[in-house]
A and B are shown apart, each in its own frame.
Chain A
C-alpha cells in the first residue's frame, strides 16, 4: 500500500509545476519517435509470426470437415483483435520500451542528471516522465492497430501459401460475424496498457537508488510489475466492458 501511495504521489507530481507547452511538444515528438517509430520493426516481426502461428495451430485443431475452413481466419481475427494485438504486444512493449524507460531514468538518477534538473528549478518528474507517458498513450494504440494488421496478414500468407485455406475463405472468415465493438475494446485496452506500462516503468526508474546493479534491478522490476498490471487490467477491462 505504501508503494501504491508513492506511485499515486509520483503521478500527481507529473502535473504540477509544468514547463511550457512548446517544451512538452518537442519532448513528446522525440519520445514518439523513440517509442513508436523505432518499435515498428519488432512489432511487425512478432505480430506477423503470431498471426501465422495462430492460423497453423487453429487449422491443426479444426480437423473435422463439419466446421468450414473460413472459421480458422475468424478465430485468428478474434484472437488478434481481442487479445494478441493489445495484450501480447503490451508484454513486448513492456519488455522493450518499459525496460528502456526504467533503465534510462535509473541511469539519469544515479549519475545525478535528475538532481541537475531539480537544481535548475525544473520539475524533473514532469519534464522527463510526462512526455514518455503521453507519447506511449499516443503511439501504443497505433502500434496495436499496426500489429493487428500484420498479424492478420501473417495468417493470410501462411494460410494461403501452405494450402490451409484459399484467399477467399480467409477473407470471408475475417468479414463474417464481425463485431466492430471489439476494435473499440482493443483500443481502450491499448490506451490503459500504455499508461500502465509507461507510468510504472518510469516510476521504477525514477526512484532508483544505488549504482549500475540497481538500475538493472529497476529495469527488471519495471517489466515484471508492468506485465502484472497489464494482466490484471486485462481481466478487469474484459469483465467491465464485454
Chain B
C-alpha cells in the first residue's frame, strides 16, 4: 500500500498540487485521473521521487519515502516498476537487453536465469520472437508492452504507469489496460495509473482519485464515478454524447 499525506508542489510560485492525501491499495489498479495540466503526472513523479514535494510525505508500506536518506530511497526504488508515457526504452539496447537491464544492474542472477525471466515477462505481455529487435524497430503498442515487461521483470511491489494509453489506438489501449489489471491481480502489487482515458477509467479503475486544478476533488471506484455528484468530475466524465446518453439512462 502507498499512502500520501498533504502533498504540496509548486513551480515558480504557482501551486500545482495542493494538500493531496490518499491511499493506494495493494492488489488494485489505483487511478489518478483529471484533465491535462491538473497535476497528475507531477503527483506521480512526487510519489516515485523524481520530484521532491514542497511539503507532505509519501509512505511505501509505512516507510517514509520522502524523508528517507538516499540509500533507503534507492532500496525502495528497487521495488518499483514504472511504465513511462513514451515507454522510455533505451535506444542503444534491443528488446531483450531493455527488459534484462534491471536484472543486470540490481541482481546477481545467473545469465540463464535472467534470460528465462526475460522470456517469461515478454511472453506474459504477449511478445515473443522480438528479443533481438531494437527499440526503434517496434510499434508504439509493442514498446508499451516491452515497457511493462521491463517494469515487472524484477518482481516489483509497486507498479506505476504514466499515461499508458497515450498514442495508442483504442483496441491496443484496451489490451494494455487489461494487461495492467491482470498483472496487478496476478502479482498482488500496488499499481498506480495516471490517465485521462475514459475507457481506462471505466475499465480498470478499481480505485480512482480525481484531481482538478491541483486539488483532490473526489475518490471512489469506477462503479460510482457516474453518480459522484461532483460537477467538475461530471464535466470530465460526461464530455461526449455517448457518455451523456449513458447518464440519461
Contact = CB atoms under 8 A, between A and B. Distances in A.
Interface in B85-111: 85-86, 88-91, 101-102, 104-106
Interface residues of A, number: 17
Nearest to B160: A119
Given A111-B86, A111-B88, A121 B50 contact: no
A17 B70 contact: yes
B2 interface: no
Interface string A107-138: 11001110110111111000000000000000
Contacts of B45: 115
A115 B106 contact: no
B208 interface: no
A16 B48 contact: no
A12 interface: no
Contacts of A118: 49-50, 77
A159 B80 CA distance: 65
A59 to B, nearest CB: 47
Contact of B82 (A107, A111, A116): A116
Q: How large is the interface on B (under 10, 10 to 19, 20 to 34, 35 or more residues)?
A: 20 to 34
Interface string A12-31: 00001101000100000000
Interface in A64-92: none
A23 B48 CA distance: 25
Contacts of A107: 91
B88 A113 contact: yes
A120 B82 CA distance: 8
Contacts of B48: 119
B102 A120 contact: yes
Contacts of B75: 121
A112 B88 contact: yes
Nearest to A113: B88
B70 A23 contact: no
Contact of B84 (A23, A112, A121): A112
A123 B82 CA distance: 16
Contacts of A23: 104-105
Given A120-B105, A122-B105, A115 B74 contact: no
B84 A115 contact: yes
A172 B88 CA distance: 59
A19 B107 CA distance: 11
Contact of B105 (A17, A19, A108, A111): A19
Which residue of A19, A107, A115 has the most chain B CB atoms within 10 A of its CB atom?
Answer: A115
Nearest to A16: B70
A186 B95 CA distance: 44
A115 B50 contact: yes
A220 B41 CA distance: 30
B151 to A, nearest CB: 9
A115 B48 CA distance: 10
A19 B101 CA distance: 13
B77 A121 contact: yes
A113 B73 CA distance: 19
B35 to A, nearest CB: 22
A113 B91 contact: yes
Which residue of A19, A113, A120 has the most chain B CB atoms within 10 A of its CB atom?
Answer: A120
Nearest to A107: B91
A108 B74 CA distance: 21
Interface string B51-82: 00000000000000000001101111110101
Which residue of B71, B104, B105 has the most chain A CB atoms within 10 A of its CB atom?
Answer: B105
B85 A112 contact: yes
A119 B70 contact: no
A123 B74 CA distance: 9
B88 A121 contact: no
A121 B86 contact: no
B50 A120 contact: no
B88 A116 contact: yes
Contacts of A16: 70
Given A19-B105, A119-B77, 4 more contacts: A112-B85, A116-B84, A120-B102, A121-B106
13 contacts: A19-B105, A111-B88, A112-B85, A112-B86, A115-B50, A118-B49, A119-B49, A119-B80, A120-B105, A120-B106, A121-B78, A121-B80, A121-B106
Interface of B: 45, 48-50, 70-71, 73-78, 80, 82, 84-86, 88-91, 101-102, 104-106, 160
Interface of A: 16-17, 19, 23, 107-108, 111-113, 115-116, 118-123
